[in-house]
Amino acid sequence: MSPRRQAPPTLCQTAVVAITGSIGALWAAQFVLELRAGGHVREVRVVMSPSATEFVTPMAMRALSGTEVLSGLFDHEAPLPIGHVQISDNASVMIVMPATANIIGKAANGIADEAVSAAIMAASCPVVFLPNMNDRMWRRAAVQRNVRTLVRDGYHVVPPVAGTVVSTGRTATGGMPHFETVIKAMRKVVRNRRR
């Protein structure tokens, strides 16, 4: 009989995962399941941009997270009356995964024109961005300038790693960090917030 594996300590009660429109949304779906099934958090809330729903459906994210999903600013059937404000209430951390060049630019410039960007602007908890994009986009001066602005404004950014570029099949920087790296970043943010 093999010894029982000890469950990891719970990071926090509630985390918000903000999903945007890139192929990395598939990893975000897996991450939401890992957060919940792995016992890292007790509640996962999900907010999706309209373009994210082209990659993963809100219904799938509801099944994976176990909670209702916010996917629009003006949805009369939204799970919360003022969803973009309330989704981070009592949460310890918000993870923006994947953080596209678009959402990085919006957050850096205070634009809040859909559910994810509005939720970031209204967040009552620390926000961690996980950039995920084509390496050429990642290297652009505008993207790097926006990342520096995010950091100066008090947001947290976990740099992308080498991964397979979907359009070419080759390896380049711009990939989603490994789940363990994300969990470590979350743990650090949550711990620092408690101090």
Strands 12-19 and 41-48: parallel
For the chain, the average pLDDT equals 88
Tell me phi and psi for residue 132, to 5 degrees: -155, 110
- Whether 38 and 6 have beta carbons less than 8 Å apart is answered as no
pLDDT of the residue at 72: 84
State the virtual CA torsion across 33, 38, 43, 49 in degrees, nearest 10.
-30
pLDDT of the residue at 3: 54
- 3-class SS at 1? coil
pLDDT of the residue at 58: 94
pLDDT of the residue at 55: 95
**Structure tokens, 41:** 């958090």
Predicted confidence (pLDDT) per residue in 92-136, tens digit = 999 999 999 999 999 999 999 999 999 999 998 999 999 998 888
CA distance 65 to 69: 8
Q: Spell out the alpha helix ranges (H) of 12-89.
A: 25-37, 58-65, 83-86
pLDDT of the residue at 12: 80
The three-point CA angle 170-175-177 to 5° equals 140
Strands 171-175 and 161-164: antiparallel
Q: Spell out the alpha helix ranges (H) of 77-124.
A: 83-86, 101-108, 115-121
CATH tag, 12-194 = 3.40.50.1950
Interacting residues of 17 by C-beta distance below 8 A, sequence separation 6+: 28, 31, 32, 35, 44, 45, 46, 47, 65, 94, 95, 97
pLDDT beneath 50, residues of the chain: none
